[in-house]
Amino acid sequence: MCASCCHVVYSHAEKFTAFSLILCPKLSLPSVKVKNGAPMSIICHADISKNTDFQLKHNFTIFKDGKLVFMTVSDKEDARYEIPVAKSSDTGDYECTVKADGKLSFSNSIYVWVAGMTKPILTADKKEVLEGEVVKLRCELPEEVPPLEFFFRKIKTNSAPKEKRVPEQNQNFSEVEYYVEEGDNILQFDCFGKRQVRSGWESSQHSNKTLVTVKEPFIKPTLITGPSSNVTEGDQIEFECSTVVAQMRDIEIILQKNRTILNSIRDKKFLKYSTVATQEDSGEYLCKVEQGAVSKTTKLNVFVSELFPKPTLSASMTKLDESKDLILSCSINGFRRANFSIVRKGSHEDILLKNSRVLAMKVNVNDTGSYTCKAEVKGIVKESKPLRINVYAPVSKPTLSVVSGSPEVILGKPLQLICHSVMGTPPITFTFYKGDEVRKNVTNDTYAIFLDEDIGLNDNGGYKCDARNNHSSGVKTSNILNVTVIVPIRNASLGSVPYGEVEVGSDTAFLCSVKEGSWPIDFKFFKKTDHEVLLHEVREYSDRTIWHKKTMKRKDTGTYYCMASNRASMDVRSHPITIHVILAAWQKGVIAAFVLTAIAGAGAIALWWFLRKKKKGNEWFPSLCLGRNVLQLNLHLSQQQRLMGVRLQR
């Protein structure tokens, strides 16, 4: 058998929901919907098989979303849970249990939806406020259970409402503050609430509208100029900015032009500012009044007519040689009655040269600079645009030299030259020549550098440079610079006479030569042992040299090489040669004679000893034995002579 279940049935006519407890599989029914504010009854019915006369107590328990909401003990088969006024918080899953005679049965679950929410109540802490103040609002959803979401709206005429959303997890009301802005007049506020249900979001009606009246703490300021609206340079112009204030507390009035504050005042209703008008005073002026967070502004455009135009400075010449005459003249187009002065612009301050329209002077190079003239009429001073005057000293004759200091260059290496003029007003233009060909033009202050990257064997001279500036004296030319092209050493070789074998005591000539290289050349001769030994060195104005080594000895046998270098600072090494020092012919003969004499003496002694031995033991055959022994000795001597001859030849 299946577990027993309780089934809830809702009746629209009776306004209640019924449950039955039966021994059968669980049943499912559609969700029911109850209007917010209507009464609602939930009935749990137990269908129990029992004897007619037997009285059985039933324990009824009703749960909503797993939480106990109702419990009773009855001997009847029904238990009723009454909700007089249904609220949205009553929405949820309901189920009941019945326990009788130790048996416990569960109903199936049914979802009850209480549609709609209670209307919220909105209150404001003030009914009348000033601009810049804050209105505090409270929205409450009575009889609703959190979590809830509250929505507040600030409503202005001819503009979209400004809405604020506030979630509340633990209470059924919420509070917010609204800032009252400039221009707010009559404001309306309302609110509404939302809660999340299984089918989505449930929204309440909008609350009552709360009206708040806004007053200005002060009126928009007025800005006027005097004494007349027609202003000309030199006139006195006065600005007056004023307002009407409800409360004279922490109020500030500011007058500014192009974000520059001209004047400001506190805790007063008006501000005055005066000045002598100039053309620079034309433009937009702004009067601003601030109190707390409220700010109001008024703008006014002012045009100042020109009293006289800016003066113009002219010069007889703007580029001239030193010791020449310069005339500066200041004038105003169509206007002559003014106080003129001519000044020279300095890095820190201007230098007054003369209070006059005209200035004549004999110039030097220190007079190079910017000049202006000033004109004053009725206290108004105007200045001309700067005029640049350049005074030039002639360039001196330039000098041309090699940057490294030495007038030599290695073949294939670049040559760097510098052209320098001690005197002369910059900028100076330097021109480099290689022969009659112009190679480069450089404009600099006092010097220029030229790099010749293509040095050949024939580039030994012909460099020069010109220098010129804006002085009328023209071009100055340096002396011609000749350079020496150094050809690096190439292919050193070593030979000897005799070559290969040299007799002891004889002389040997070593010849070291190079295929190419500029003179002088340093030659060095080395013998290679465990370490290199320098034997001889010499400097030659030639591509070869000979070193005579006299009286060669047996210890002079070995490997020789030479090394050559010049001002290119590159050492070139030859291939090595090997020399064997051998004995001379007469030395070989002396040694052979000495060896033969020694061998003959040894043979005579051996023969004497042999004959003596034989005489004692072989007296019967003396002639035969003697003849055989003499023959053996001759053969032995012949072999020794041949061996000795081979050794001497070697």
| Whether the Cβ atoms of residue 418 and residue 446 lie closer than 8 Å to each other | no
| Whether the Cβ atoms of residue 403 and residue 391 lie closer than 8 Å to each other | no
Question: What's the rounded Cα separation, in Å, for the pair 376 and 343?
Answer: 14
* Residue that is written with structure tokens 């007619």 in the block: 52
Q: Which residues pair with 402 in a beta bridge?
A: 417
Of 373, 423, 370, 366, the closest CA to residue 391 belongs to 366
pLDDT at residue 552 in the model: 86
Question: What's the rounded Cα separation, in Å, for the pair 43 and 17?
Answer: 5
| Whether the Cβ atoms of residue 58 and residue 73 lie closer than 8 Å to each other | yes
CB atoms within 10 A of CB 188: 14
* Distances 156 to 132, 137, 174, 180, 448 between C-alpha atoms, Å: 16, 16, 22, 11, 78
What is the mean predicted confidence (pLDDT) over 556-567?
A: 91
Of 638, 647, 576, 633, the closest CA to residue 604 belongs to 633
List of residues 6+ apart from 268 with CB closer than 8 A = 251, 253
* Residue that is written with structure tokens 């009464």 in the block: 39
Q: How confident is the model at residue 644 (pLDDT cuts 50, 70, 90)?
A: very low
What is the mean predicted confidence (pLDDT) over 461-473?
A: 89
CB atoms within 10 A of CB 459: 19
Tokens of 498: 């005799």
What is the mean predicted confidence (pLDDT) over 462-480?
A: 91
pLDDT at residue 591 in the model: 66
- Looking from the CA of 504 toward its CB, the CA atoms found within 13 Å total 10
Q: What percent of the chain has pLDDT over 70?
A: 84
Question: What's the rounded Cα separation, in Å, for the pair 463 and 1?
Answer: 124
Tokens of 31: 């969700």
Amino acid identity, position 47: D
- 59-95 in b/e form (b: 16+ CB < 10 A) is ebbbbbeeeebbeeeeeebebbbebeebbbbbbbebb
DSSP per-residue string spanning 173-203: EEEEEEEPPTT--EEEEEEEEEEEETTEEEE
Question: What's the rounded Cα separation, in Å, for the pair 50 and 70?
Answer: 26
Question: What's the rounded Cα separation, in Å, for the pair 68 and 49?
Answer: 27
Question: What's the rounded Cα separation, in Å, for the pair 520 and 523?
Answer: 10
List of residues 6+ apart from 470 with CB closer than 8 A = 319, 390, 392, 425
* Strands 501-503 and 148-155, sheet pairing: unpaired
Q: What is the pLDDT of residues 301-329, one digit of tens each?
A: 999 988 888 999 999 999 999 999 999 99
Q: Encode 294-346 in three state secondary structure.
A: EEEEEEEEECEECCCCCCEEEECCCEEECCCEEEEEEEECCECCCEEEEEECC
Tokens of 223: 């800005």
Can you tell me whether residue 3 is helix, strand or coil? coil
- Looking from the CA of 297 toward its CB, the CA atoms found within 13 Å total 10
DSSP per-residue string spanning 159-175: SPPEEEEEEESS-SEEE
pLDDT at residue 647 in the model: 35
Q: What is the pLDDT of residues 175-210, one digit of tens each?
A: 999 988 877 878 899 999 998 887 778 889 899 999
Q: What percent of the chain has pLDDT over 90?
A: 35
Q: What is the pLDDT of residues 83-100, one digit of tens each?
A: 888 888 888 888 988 887
Question: What's the rounded Cα separation, in Å, for the pair 523 and 543?
Answer: 10
Can you tell me whether residue 83 is helix, strand or coil? strand
pLDDT at residue 588 in the model: 64
Residue 30 has pLDDT above 50, yes or no: no
Q: Which residues pair with 275 in a beta bridge?
A: 237
